[in-house]
Amino acid sequence: MLRPICLIRRYSSFSAAIETAEKLVQPHASSKFDPFSMVSAEMRVLAKNIASLIGSGHPTLNRVTSYYFEAEGKNVRPLIVLLLSKALAKIPESERTRIAIDPYDVNEQDEFRGTPKAFSFAGQNPLDSISPLRVLHGINPNIILNPLSKPMMSREQYREKDLANGILPKQRRLAEIAEMIHTASLLHDDVIDFSDSRRGRDSGNIAFSNKMAILAGDFLLGRASVSLGRLRNSEVVELMSTAIANLVEGEFMQLKNTVMQPNLDQIENDGAVKQIPAPTGKVPVEVHEYSVKSPQQISHEENVEAAFQYYLHKTYLKTASLMSKSSRSAAILAGCNEEMIENCYQFGRNLGLCFQIVDDMLDYTTTAELLGKPAGADLQLGLATAPVLYAWKDKPELGPMIGRKFSKPEDVELAKKAVLEARGVEKTRQLAEQYCSEALKNLRTLPDSDARNALELLTNSVLTRSN
């Protein structure tokens, strides 16, 4: 059995996206631990806040950036942050060693560790700008509505809600930021993958154009960065900024599978092989640690293992990184101790890996209608995900197909047949179950609460989802 080393992605129509988050977990109607119901008020505020944060002075840009938020989306990332924040609120004040928090004034936080006192903004509200608004606007704010200074609610409303539900304003804003970063990545990914549908309708690149979709994704990242800076926590800024970089790294790993294509001097461009410029030596260029050797150098099993580790690392970067780092950030903002912060990180990491592995499995087992995007796309795109890697272990003849990204006319059908014969889908499900089990172990370090139970239900539901 292959055992990977690492076992431990003002609009009334926003309501459609919220409904899909409810569909994702599919709890029993009478369940008191329904994840969505537990934070439904926060999810509604989150949607409105995102609508205000992404606005610009250009109507077409507004239209493109809001396009994916209008359709039905899973909203898994903000749901995780909000539920985790609610669960973390049950930790006794005496165990919050990173930041001192007054339980009767949850909006005021002392300066966080490692920040010079003169530069600490930890006690300020995430609605407030750091730079003067005249500098952020760069124009007359009375001419064009600029959302950088247009909060959806007052400080008094924030304070009232936080006292009632235990979710800090900064944690709520973190949930919004995570969803904005994720949506920006979808706009970019659909251009890269030549996708024609997303969330049951035309993808952004088809509805508008490649150029507009890319620019809208960039704009979303810019708006998310503004909100991220206003959290006034350098560690959280570092974590979430790294998650953005990880998304790009993961996409590059997917674009060029260096495990099966060890020639780093060439890239594929629209099906053609292109020689890339040689480095000048002025800047050091790292060579990726993963590589496939010839049969004379290493065994077939070791080559498959190397390819699997490459796949898992890419999966972490593209999907689990944002979940894990936003979960860790929620714990940091809650003032938790180091052990709890690490458990929150590992929870997000394991859940993220489980989520994407299930997604890769669904590409082989479900329809485009249920998936909300083209089914069977991975092999068409030349991607060797877990099901085909498990098949490769039993069928070495798949190696050349993986190396050429299933580019010959018969490759895709032969690979599908091999996956079926080798029980690649079943083995992939078993791998996802291992990560699900690890995520549940991480959750059980939290105090017992309805929010923790809801997170456990959400985690288990990832294995049974159909889209």
Which domains are assigned to the chain? 14-464 (1.10.600.10)
pLDDT band at 87 (very low <50, low <70, confident <90, very high): very high
Average confidence (pLDDT) over 116-130: 54
pLDDT higher than 60, residue 122:
no
- Predicted confidence at residue 24, as pLDDT, reads 40
pLDDT higher than 90, residue 78:
yes
Q: Where are the beta strands (DSSP E) in 226-306?
A: 266-269, 272-275
- Predicted confidence at residue 326, as pLDDT, reads 98
Mean pLDDT, the chain, whole residue set: 80
Higher pLDDT, residue 346 or 95: 346
How far is it, in rounded angstroms, from Cα 343 to Cα 324? 10
362 close to 467: Cβ distance less than 8 angstroms: yes
Q: What are phi and psi of 100, to 5 degrees?
A: -75, 125
How far is it, in rounded angstroms, from Cα 203 to Cα 17? 16
User: Mean pLDDT lowest for which of 22-26, 99-103, 136-140, 146-150?
Assistant: 22-26
- Predicted confidence at residue 145, as pLDDT, reads 46
How far is it, in rounded angstroms, from Cα 106 to Cα 102? 6
Burial (Cβ within 10 Å: 0-12, 13-18, ≥19) of residue 57 = middle
**The two structure tokens encoding residue 149:** 């200074």
Q: Where are the beta strands (DSSP E) in 157-244?
A: 197-198, 201-202
pLDDT band at 203 (very low <50, low <70, confident <90, very high): very high
pLDDT band at 41 (very low <50, low <70, confident <90, very high): confident
How far is it, in rounded angstroms, from Cα 292 to Cα 346? 29
- Predicted confidence at residue 210, as pLDDT, reads 96
pLDDT higher than 60, residue 116:
no
Average confidence (pLDDT) over 11-33: 42
Instruction: Tell me the range of 152-161, 284-293, 412-421 where mean pLDDT is highest.
Output: 412-421
How far is it, in rounded angstroms, from Cα 123 to Cα 109? 5
Alpha helices in 106-151 (DSSP H): 133-137
User: Mean pLDDT lowest for which of 55-59, 106-110, 153-157, 406-410?
Assistant: 106-110
Alpha helices in 230-290 (DSSP H): 234-255
Higher pLDDT, residue 33 or 308: 308
**Torsion angle, alpha carbons of 364, 365, 369, 371, to 10:** -70
Higher pLDDT, residue 191 or 149: 191
| Nearest-10 crossing angle of helices 234-255, 169-192 | 20
| Helix then strand then coil, % of the chain, to nearest 5 | 60, 5, 35
Nearest to 244 by CA among 183, 291, 196, 303: 183
Q: How, if at all, do strands 197-198 and 266-269 pair?
A: unpaired
60 close to 115: Cβ distance less than 8 angstroms: no
208 close to 61: Cβ distance less than 8 angstroms: no
CB atoms near residue 9 (< 10 Å): 19
13 close to 32: Cβ distance less than 8 angstroms: no
**Torsion angle, alpha carbons of 208, 244, 127, 216, to 10:** -10
pLDDT band at 93 (very low <50, low <70, confident <90, very high): confident
User: Mean pLDDT lowest for which of 53-57, 70-74, 169-173, 461-465?
Assistant: 70-74
Which helix (H) or strand (E) is 462 found in, with range? helix 450-464
- Predicted confidence at residue 328, as pLDDT, reads 97
68 close to 199: Cβ distance less than 8 angstroms: yes
CA 455: distance to chain centroid? Answer: 17
Higher pLDDT, residue 392 or 46: 392
How far is it, in rounded angstroms, from Cα 459 to Cα 197? 27
pLDDT higher than 60, residue 120:
no
How far is it, in rounded angstroms, from Cα 22 to Cα 271? 41
- Predicted confidence at residue 261, as pLDDT, reads 63
| Contacts of 283 by beta carbon, 8 Å cutoff, 6+ apart | none
Q: In angstroms, what CA-CA distances link 147 with 135, 141, 183, 184?
A: 14, 10, 19, 18
Which position has the token pair 């119901």? 37
CA 412: distance to chain centroid? Answer: 28
- Whole-angstrom Cα Rg for the chain: 23
How far is it, in rounded angstroms, from Cα 109 to Cα 134? 27
87 close to 452: Cβ distance less than 8 angstroms: yes
